[in-house]
Structure 1
Amino acid sequence: MPTRRTMSTIAASALAATIVSVGTGGSTSVAAGAAGPTARAVDPACAAWMDPKDPAAQRARALVDAMSAEQKMHMVTFGDLPPYLLYYGTAGHVTGIPELCVPDLVLSDAGSGVAGLQLGTTTFPSGVAQASMWNRSLQREVGRTIGDEAFDKGINVMLGPGMNIARTPYNGRNFEYFGEDPYLAAQMVVPFIKGIQSNPVIADAKHYALNNQEVDRMTVDVTVDERTAREIYLPAFEAAVKDGDVGSVMCSYNRVGGKYACENPTLLDDWLRDDWGFDGFVVSDWGAVHSTAPSAMAGLDLEMHAVPFENPVATPVFGAGEGKYFAAAKLETALADKTLTSARLDEMVRNIVRPMFELGLFEQPITPGLPAFLSTVSTDAHKETARRAASEGTVLLKNRDDMLPLDTEGGRTIAVIGYAANPLGALSSTGGGGSSHGSGLPPQVVSVLQGVQSLAQEHGDTVVYTEGSSVIDAMLVASLADIAIVVAGDGSSEGSDRADLSMSPQVCVTLFCQKLPLDQEQMVSTVTGANPNTVVVLDVGAPVRMPWLSDAAAVLLPWYGGNEHGNSVARILYGLDEPSGRLPQTLPVSEDQLDFSPEQYPGVGGEQTYSEGMLVGYRYYDSRRLKPLFPFGFGLGYSTFAFDDLQVRRAGSGAVATFTVRNTGTRASSAVPQLYVSSPAAAGEPPRQLKGFDKVLLKPGQSRTITLRLDRRAFSQWSTRADRWIVTPGRYGIQVGSSSRDLDLRSSIVMGR
């Protein structure tokens, strides 16, 4: 029987053979990019646009002026063959134009690493886990590392980050996103984008916009008032453009106000370009285009799909359509009947090549091909970054009597229980399903079982394991151990929403996932009932019920932790890492706290109304005075902190808040002070809203003065009447603490006068 390594080699070779049998290299497919970015020699025929000292807009105009009509039309849609993942495991490509020195444009998913059918890449924690880090600098490092791996794999457009708001915990794709708060989401997407684009790689802000569920995602028509859109659902996209200088934005499948997002001029032209100043390209989600001239004239620049032929029936993953609305023949027809102007076509191409010039794609072209596809780009340093991100994104929800971290005396029997804990289960429980799910080849995921076994051996502990589906086995193994670690999984995936808040693990192969009939709640209840020293580890992508919570000694929420998940959990258990994450999403007690009418979710007759307005996430719980299971911003860590001496003063059109944070515990630990603003009643805002935070590592007894600067936007509301941001005159409350429900420091300031 082949060894695991041999099996991996066979699988990778078979995958490569499939791709190569139908694939042809791009215009520059000569050698792997594994050696890193290198500058190209300049062809004299391209000299007018190949001087990197010239402004990108000038270079883009010169290039487009030199293009034939055929070359322009070639640039605005995807290459026919090979389709989708068969082009070296990537999501899509636009073949370069060698005679004009235009490099290939190769696109790949996504926010937790270079995915698709790529081999030898690092899977990082999912978006919701990244948001849980509340660490801007580490988030930039995650983005930089992903961009580095993308380039070395012959990819120069990464289709992430996703930044849709977690309007409902049922959304099957919430695991890819950054939680329920627009400010936190914006603060985490910007460094991620900057990190990716520190390489000659374009990031992509998706899915624009109001794409907050997977049920009927291809066609559902969202009705939302502009103020709610501007204050809740659009700030992360706005920040991606204004602060992140993102090179591309992906329009989504759904409709907004009756128009598909990819042919919606309000979204693509009025808000994105006119209001925010976006100067990159708008790319469609795969199969999200429904017209030629209307889409182009509304602001779509680049059409993408999985297949070039007609797909009359929509699938959960791809939309229906004619396959190529931006094909040359259709563009020529639209130009001839003047529904599409030649000026707009020129603008579409300029929008595509402008960020390519800005980010160095012309100077450092990728080299897609078989060598790059087969190369391994995941390094020890990359894995270390992934492990740090996993630990900083893990939220400690409960720690009775400071059970964690474990002492170092050793000699214990530790029971590890759960399908998700073993190497096979970890392949699908450390990441979500759909386009963000990688090939998993060669296997690099470290399971919790493997991670704990490794450290337990160093500490003189013995590890026993059972899969947990048998109640008797789980009870027996747990009861005979000194400590039980039960790992429960819940699968989330693109293409479907969750039916409820229960847990059910899944197995995924590329885009497609299947739920497994394993009762995770029963397993956890059995183990926590059998052993009072039980640590529950939740490998989930969204909030879940916890009826067993009172019996658990400790609860860790790593979300989907990526390849280094097992090492991260083991190091947290033994105190080598701290679970310093804070919740980016409120955890409800049960489904009974979720008050959606059918019209609100999932919609009726293909239409849904966001009639709850701005009362999303903790804003809803606070306005209704509901006590969630765990509030937004919550997380324990391995120490305690005191907040003191809040001072707030005006500074220009905004304010500055200063206060001290002191580590009152016995271990070095990270504090995450959070600042919330309460608006005067006349403003009509939710009770309080996050407007500032920091993350600081403090030694025992150490204090630090924290300064948080609040710009005018922190006190602003969107006025549909004035069509701009305004500050309602009055007194604004400033509250500082460790979560949205633990705010010990309070002050106020008068603004707008």
Structure 2
Amino acid sequence: MNARTRSRRRGLLAIAAAVPLTLSAAGVAVADSVTAPTAQAADVADLPWMDTSLTPEQRSDLLVDALTLEQKVQQLHGSSAPTPELLPECNGTNSSGGYGTFRNVTGIPELGIPTFRITNGPVGVGYGDCTPQEPATALPVALALAAGFDPDLAYQFGDLAGQESRTLGLHEFEAPGINLARIANGGRNFEYFGEDPYLSGVIAAAEVKGVQDNDVIAMAKHYVLNDQEKDRGNVSVEVDESVLHELYLLPFEMAVKDGDLGSIMCSYNKIDGVYSCENDYTLTTVLRDMWDFEGYVQSDFGATHSTAPSLNAGMDLEMQSGRYMTMANIEAALADGSLTMGTIDQALDRRYTQMFKYGIFDRPITRAPISPENGQVAREIGEQTSVLLKNEGDLLPLDPEVDTIALIGQSTYVDEAVAGGGGSSRVVPTYTVDALGGLENALAELDSDATVTKVTVAKDLSNLDAAVAAASEADVVVVMAGLVTAEGRDQLTADNEPILNLPDNQDALISAVAEANASTAVVLKDGDPVLLPWLDQVPSVLEAWNPGQEDGNVVANLLFGLANPSGKLPVTYPASVDETPTAGNEAAYPGLDLDGVRNSRGNLTVDVVRYEEGREMGYRWYDANDVEPQFAFGHGLSYTDFEISKLTVTPKVQDGTKAINVQFFVENTGDVAGAEVPQVYLGLPESANQPPKRLVGFDKVELEPGEKQHVTITIDPAASNHPLSVWDAEADTWTTPEGEFDVYVGNSSDNITLQETVTVRTPSGR
């Protein structure tokens, strides 16, 4: 128990003693055996911790002091039973393909403790503790949200997810996911915000605020270094401490400090040989001591591997059905001195404080259907996060006066809405709009008489001739192509080589269709950057990501100019699989087998992965090694043109503690309204041993044709992203090097158009 908790608890003993408690003499059964009750006892309101005039901390302390050991143990882990308050409608029938794990901590009605209900994210309200799974709004994937480069949009995303969680009677939303896209073929990249820690932290903090403003607890995951799915439960990550802080911890730090984050999920992997959920350095030294995190830590499902070591390290809730947090294990640990009651109380106190803070004890569990009207928000987010990668000859937006359009693609992309990635984050949408339906809606809005012919191509391309024929006869062709990835696996060959191509022969499909008709636009619907070997054959490529349930409308509105693309790439698109930061280095990815142990499928498992690329991850690697990608981080075109001009940076000389104001003008020099995202990068002095530049600021600027706006982006040395600083491992702190800092302004990492220099000089004698 830390000093703050001890002091708080001492100060409340008088309150607890002054109010008589009425508790069940028998306590409560462990979670797995609970099949009732469904209502709180009549005298719950009289319990001292139900006094809403007290602070959340006071209420939590009173409650923890009143629990028996049996009750404490039951509250330290999740349940495999249905939610008692929701029987019989949530009856526990598992029809969800293995992801219907009951995500709750069963309540104790006589103590006023409600069943704590949890739902997965991060692309909408996913698998929770009610089966069959309840419909919710399937939003664009998180990688798409990052492409918006817009914290206001991220807040809107979180606000909707929080609203829907609240509507369904849920208390915790397991999102945002803020691991970094260290590898382009990562199975869960779609759940995360890309390769840059600052962008990820800005978007994460805004989403957290949106969720928690609905009195639902947000949970950042997967803390930390769970940056690959390959053998995630076995692999031990080895990384330089400075790299750990400057890249992989940074977005979590920003979510904690800027988002007032309520909870964090510790991950499956090991860190230097120690499981994440029992790693004292990350869970206590960093999270509590350095960042002052006051929320609670929940394990990923099955990521707990011990009792006393996990609790002592700082994990507070085992999210599985009590494998380690059992009465026998707890009693044994208390008896041998490896665990104290104070540590148990601390774990409960951290979660209860958040539950009281967000009113979870004070509202009944009620549920209502999600309004289909929320799909409008999904559409708006999708329109603002899609990225126009290429548009030679201005094929896009399409001319509604054309007579015929050929819509071509495989079934996943033309017959269905791509409503998100696979795995536990899957959302059951309230409705969907497919590609053909979206095109017909847009044509109707434009009063167009164009006809659309759809050809669904088999995965083996057995009917490719029909697609080529349709393409050759149409005025314009739209090819829908993509990739749906999932938790638990990266895109790898049988020999563990990364795969970055579109699956199921789609590259050949696109090439054949483009050869038949030069007016071909390709729409990508994916959650990973992919290779584009056919790029020179097509004039236009639109990256729509996995767009969510409004897929068809999002894509059609962008294709016909009813919306103007304004997204920017949050990940680098490589030109080849050999031109990536970890290419050719097995130790860096997928990692090394050290013990010859095989998994249940007979494959050798990865035991260790070494982040040998260091700070040179993502665009930092391309910059440092002078490698030209296919499309750079931050890239994104528009149906209009912009000019960024007249840069001024002040002050030019300072001691490293003053804010740097970066000012310039952005002008829409084209003919239609649109939005540009000017990006500010900082190059540190050579003595800092850093890649050429890091993103430190951006702003999404919406402009009418001919409009010009003055923009100021402030680089604050005291900000949570430590923009001027590097991590000093010996001193265990951030330090700002002296020398010249280059300030770069552009609209992508490889298109810097303005530059200035700031000098940081420490006063003598300081």
Normalising by the smaller structure, the TM-score range is: 0.7 to 0.9
Percent pairwise identity: 41
CA 641–296 in structure 1, closer or farther in 2 if over 3 Å, else same: same
Q: Give 1:680-695 correspondences, 5 Å limit.
A: 680-695=685-700
Work out which of the residue numbers 357, 375, 391 in structure 2 matches 1:399. Answer: 391
2:715 equivalent to 1:700: no
**1:691-738 Cα shifts (integer Å, max 9, x gaps):** 000001100110111111111121111111221111101110001010
**1:621-643 Cα shifts (integer Å, max 9, x gaps):** 00000000000000001111111
**1:420-469 Cα shifts (integer Å, max 9, x gaps):** 4666443xx331111111245x6x22122220122224421100010123
Q: Hey, what does 2:209 align to over in structure 1?
A: 194
Cα separation, 1, equivalents of 2:101 and 2:211: 17
**Pair member with larger Rg:** 2
Cα separation, 1, equivalents of 2:442 and 2:567: 22
CA 283–26 in structure 1, closer or farther in 2 if over 3 Å, else same: farther
Q: Hey, what does 2:405 align to over in structure 1?
A: 414
**1:227-248 Cα shifts (integer Å, max 9, x gaps):** 0000010111111111111111
Q: Give 1:228-377 correspondences, 5 Å limit.
A: 228-305=243-320, 308=321, 324-367=323-366, 372=367, 375-377=368-370
2:106 equivalent to 1:95: yes
CA 23–174 in structure 1, closer or farther in 2 if over 3 Å, else same: farther
Alpha carbons 1:421, 1:449 under 8 Å: kept: no
Work out which of the residue numbers 376, 379, 384 in structure 2 matches 1:384. Answer: 376
Q: Hey, what does 1:16 align to over in structure 2?
A: none
Gaps of 5+ in 1: 1-21, 31-39, 309-322, 506-517
CA 153–661 in structure 1, closer or farther in 2 if over 3 Å, else same: same
- Give the deviation of 1:504 after TM superposition: 4.9
CA 26–637 in structure 1, closer or farther in 2 if over 3 Å, else same: farther
CA 596–226 in structure 1, closer or farther in 2 if over 3 Å, else same: farther
CA 633–218 in structure 1, closer or farther in 2 if over 3 Å, else same: same
Counterpart residue identity of residue 418, structure 1? G
CA 271–234 in structure 1, closer or farther in 2 if over 3 Å, else same: same
Counterpart residue identity of residue 752, structure 2? L
Work out which of the residue numbers 230, 234, 242 in structure 2 matches 1:227. Answer: 242
Alpha carbons 1:668, 1:697 under 8 Å: kept: yes
Work out which of the residue numbers 443, 448, 453 in structure 2 matches 1:464. Answer: 453
Counterpart residue identity of residue 355, structure 2? M
Alpha carbons 1:280, 1:352 under 8 Å: kept: yes
Q: Give 1:100-249 correspondences, 5 Å limit.
A: 100-116=111-127, 118-249=133-264
2:506 equivalent to 1:520: yes
SS for the counterpart of 1:476 is: helix
Alpha carbons 2:646, 2:664 under 8 Å: kept: yes
Q: Hey, what does 2:420 align to over in structure 1?
A: 431
Alpha carbons 2:419, 2:427 under 8 Å: kept: no
Cα separation, 1, equivalents of 2:125 and 2:37: 22
Q: Give 1:673-684 correspondences, 5 Å limit.
A: 673-684=678-689
Cα separation, 2, equivalents of 1:482 and 1:385: 33
**1:34-55 Cα shifts (integer Å, max 9, x gaps):** xxxxxx9994432x32344433
Cα separation, 2, equivalents of 1:54 and 1:283: 26
Could you tell me the TM-score, scaled by structure 1's length? 0.87
CA RMSD of aligned residues (A): 2.1
Cα separation, 1, equivalents of 2:761 and 2:72: 50
Cα separation, 1, equivalents of 2:522 and 2:49: 58
CA 751–324 in structure 1, closer or farther in 2 if over 3 Å, else same: same
CA 26–731 in structure 1, closer or farther in 2 if over 3 Å, else same: farther
CA 431–270 in structure 1, closer or farther in 2 if over 3 Å, else same: same
Q: Hey, what does 2:647 align to over in structure 1?
A: 646
Q: Hey, what does 2:478 align to over in structure 1?
A: 485
Q: Hey, what does 1:446 align to over in structure 2?
A: 433
CA 141–395 in structure 1, closer or farther in 2 if over 3 Å, else same: same
Cα separation, 2, equivalents of 1:256 and 1:674: 33
Moved more, 412-421 or 566-575: 412-421
SS for the counterpart of 1:466 is: strand
SS for the counterpart of 2:723 is: helix
**1:653-676 Cα shifts (integer Å, max 9, x gaps):** 331111110111111000100000
Q: Hey, what does 1:667 align to over in structure 2?
A: 672
Alpha carbons 1:247, 1:280 under 8 Å: kept: yes
- Give the deviation of 1:130 after TM superposition: 0.5
Cα separation, 1, equivalents of 2:201 and 2:484: 26
Could you tell me the TM-score, scaled by structure 2's length? 0.86
Alpha carbons 1:156, 1:366 under 8 Å: kept: no
- Give the deviation of 1:501 after TM superposition: 3.9
SS for the counterpart of 1:660 is: strand
Counterpart residue identity of residue 67, structure 1? L
- Give the deviation of 1:527 after TM superposition: 1.2
Alpha carbons 1:166, 1:177 under 8 Å: kept: yes
CA 221–556 in structure 1, closer or farther in 2 if over 3 Å, else same: same
Q: Hey, what does 2:753 align to over in structure 1?
A: 744
CA 593–503 in structure 1, closer or farther in 2 if over 3 Å, else same: closer
**1:285-321 Cα shifts (integer Å, max 9, x gaps):** 000111111111111110012xx4xxxxxxxxxxxxx
CA 340–735 in structure 1, closer or farther in 2 if over 3 Å, else same: same
Q: Give 1:38-49 correspondences, 5 Å limit.
A: 43-46=44-47, 48-49=48-49
Alpha carbons 1:27, 1:104 under 8 Å: kept: no
Cα separation, 2, equivalents of 1:584 and 1:660: 23
Gaps of 5+ in 2: 1-31, 84-89, 95-99, 493-497, 594-606
Alpha carbons 1:163, 1:178 under 8 Å: kept: yes
2:78 equivalent to 1:78: yes
CA 365–685 in structure 1, closer or farther in 2 if over 3 Å, else same: farther
Alpha carbons 1:649, 1:656 under 8 Å: kept: yes
Counterpart residue identity of residue 460, structure 1? D
Alpha carbons 1:668, 1:700 under 8 Å: kept: yes
- Give the deviation of 1:365 after TM superposition: 3.9
Work out which of the residue numbers 435, 439, 442 in structure 2 matches 1:455. Answer: 442
- Give the deviation of 1:259 after TM superposition: 0.4
Alpha carbons 2:230, 2:488 under 8 Å: kept: yes
SS for the counterpart of 2:425 is: coil
CA 681–147 in structure 1, closer or farther in 2 if over 3 Å, else same: same
Cα separation, 1, equivalents of 2:404 and 2:745: 43
Q: Hey, what does 2:599 align to over in structure 1?
A: none
Cα separation, 2, equivalents of 1:483 and 1:61: 67
Cα separation, 2, equivalents of 1:177 and 1:167: 11
SS for the counterpart of 2:480 is: strand
Alpha carbons 2:232, 2:269 under 8 Å: kept: yes
Counterpart residue identity of residue 456, structure 1? L
Alpha carbons 1:571, 1:577 under 8 Å: kept: yes
| Count of aligned residue pairs for this structure pair | 682
Cα separation, 2, equivalents of 1:172 and 1:61: 41
- Give the deviation of 1:587 after TM superposition: 0.2
Moved more, 647-656 or 576-585: 647-656
Alpha carbons 1:200, 1:364 under 8 Å: kept: no
Alpha carbons 2:136, 2:428 under 8 Å: kept: no
SS for the counterpart of 2:361 is: coil
Q: Hey, what does 1:10 align to over in structure 2?
A: none
2:537 equivalent to 1:536: no
Q: Give 1:2-13 correspondences, 5 Å limit.
A: none
